[in-house]
Structure 1
Amino acid sequence: MPTRKPVAAYPFTQAELWKRCLDLQPALDRDATELAARGVTAARIAAFKADTRSFGTLEPDAVLVQEGAIITEQKTAGQASLETAMQQVMALVAVRDSPRTGRYKRFGVRDVSSLGEAGLFLGAALLVKQGRKYLPEYAVEGLTEAMLQTVEACSAAFLAGLAERKEAENTRSTATETRLAFANRLYAQLVQLCAAGEALYRHTDAVRARQYVVQPSGGAAGRSGAGVAPA
């Protein structure tokens, strides 16, 4: 059975969640004695602080997106290099044989630019194989072993780029889900601590009670000490 991906349980951005957790900590320290009487222990507050620090060390999605974009750019450059190397070989073949002939088609590549990622890699492998087989026939047109080696090297680099991009996509997906699940747990702690503090001062100190509002900026969560997560 597939694992269900986590869904955000907090009503604001992760950056706002982190800031709110940081902003709450001075009030928790100040009111630690009173909160302890309501079951909010020092260990619980310490755990909340530790989780807040840990959450701040997680890489934001924007960083992972840019890292993925760099890998994609590198893959695109690698694909262009491979296509160019293959086209240079086929251009020499075309000097001797028309693209409509069987002799040209035996190299397995008719239109390099129309090949997809998988087709490009397979086409390069076939081109190198056939190029070496018929190298003596096309040497007079300028085909060399060095050119075939260039195709081979570009093909290997292109394949490595595809693997690196896939790994980056998987890494980003895992990191995003991990950060989201962590944020949900942190938000649950925030809601519970705010509820305890707001209840403590609701009828005795309006200023302190407001310091325990989950989302002080307003909105549905901001009007309740417990906070309201979106469905």
Structure 2
Amino acid sequence: MKKQKVNRKYNFPDADLYQMCMDAIRLAKRDLAHFKEYNYDGRRLKGFHDRCAKFIEGPDDDELLGDQMIVTDKKYEAADQVRHAVRSVMTRVRMKFSNRTGRYRKFGTAKIGDMTDAQLLFCGRRVIRVARAQWPFLEETGLNEGHLEKLANACKRFEQAMNIQQDKVADRDIAVESRIDIGNLLYDEMIKVCDIGKDIWAETDRAKYDAYCIYESNNEQKIIAKSKQS
């Protein structure tokens, strides 16, 4: 069964979530004696802190996307090498066969510029196979095993680049989902801490009560963050 997409429970950036969690932890440490009345002790608070540290130290989506873009560029370069090697072979094929003949069309390179990665890889290997099958006709054009070996190596590098890129895409998807899962756990724990804090001070200290309030919108969070810095 396909796993359902994981959605964030919060509407602000991960960096803001981290800072909000750290603020909540700082307040809870101050009020730890009261928190123990809710069976929330220092050990649990330390576990919360450790999860926050692990969360912020992990790669974010910008880093993962950058890695994906790097290997994608390498895949594009490998694809260009395949196209160049194919065209080098086909230049010699045209010296022998008109592009309207069946022998030429067997190579299947007419739309090489519009092919998907899989189609291009398939095309490169087909060109090698068809060229070898028609070797007696093409030898006089200067086509030799070196040209086909160059194309074969280009196809091999391209396939490797395709696999690496697909792995990076999958790694990013997994990492993003994992980060959302962890972020949601931190958010839930922060809400628990803040609910306890508000309950502690609801009737005795308005300022301490307000310090535990969570602002759900990003704009509200920016306003409260600026007020704390001023």
- Answering whether residue 18 of structure 2 is matched by residue 15 of structure 1, we say no
Task: Give the TM-score normalised by structure 1.
Answer: 0.88
- Shift of residue 202 of structure 1? 2.1
Q: In structure 2, what is the equivalent of residue 181 of structure 1?
A: 181
Amino acid at match of 2:208: R
The count of residues paired between Structure 1 and Structure 2 equals 222
The 3 A distance-change label for structure 1 pair 11 and 121 is closer
- Shift of residue 139 of structure 1? 3.0
In 1, Cα distance between the equivalents of 2:180 and 2:85?
44
Counterparts of residues 61-72 of structure 1 (less than 5 Å): 61-72=61-72
Instruction: Return the structure number with greater relative CO, CA threshold 8 A, min gap 6.
Output: 2
Counterparts of residues 1-231 of structure 1 (less than 5 Å): 1-215=1-215, 219=220
- Shift of residue 45 of structure 1? 0.9
- Shift of residue 115 of structure 1? 2.8
Amino acid at match of 1:164: I
In 1, Cα distance between the equivalents of 2:142 and 2:219?
74
In 2, Cα distance between the equivalents of 1:101 and 1:74?
35
Q: When you count helix as a share of all residues, which structure comes out higher? A: 2
- Shift of residue 218 of structure 1? 7.0
CA contact (8 A) 2:24 2:193 kept: no
In 1, Cα distance between the equivalents of 2:11 and 2:107?
59
In 2, Cα distance between the equivalents of 1:32 and 1:46?
12
Q: Deviations over 1:132-188 (max 9, x none)?
A: 233343233221211111110111111111111211111111111111111111101
The 3 A distance-change label for structure 1 pair 15 and 85 is same
CA contact (8 A) 1:20 1:215 kept: no
Identity %: 23
- Shift of residue 219 of structure 1? 4.1
CA contact (8 A) 2:48 2:186 kept: yes
Structure 2 gap segments, 5+ residues each: 225-230
CA contact (8 A) 1:35 1:196 kept: yes
In 2, Cα distance between the equivalents of 1:142 and 1:112?
23
Task: Give the TM-score normalised by structure 2.
Answer: 0.88
Quote the RMSD (CA, aligned, Å).
2.2
Q: In structure 2, what is the equivalent of residue 228 of structure 1?
A: none
Q: Deviations over 1:52-104 (max 9, x none)?
A: 11211221111111111111111111111101110110011101211111232
Structure 1 gap segments, 5+ residues each: 224-231
Partner SS state of residue 26, structure 2: helix
Q: In structure 1, what is the equivalent of residue 228 of structure 2?
A: none
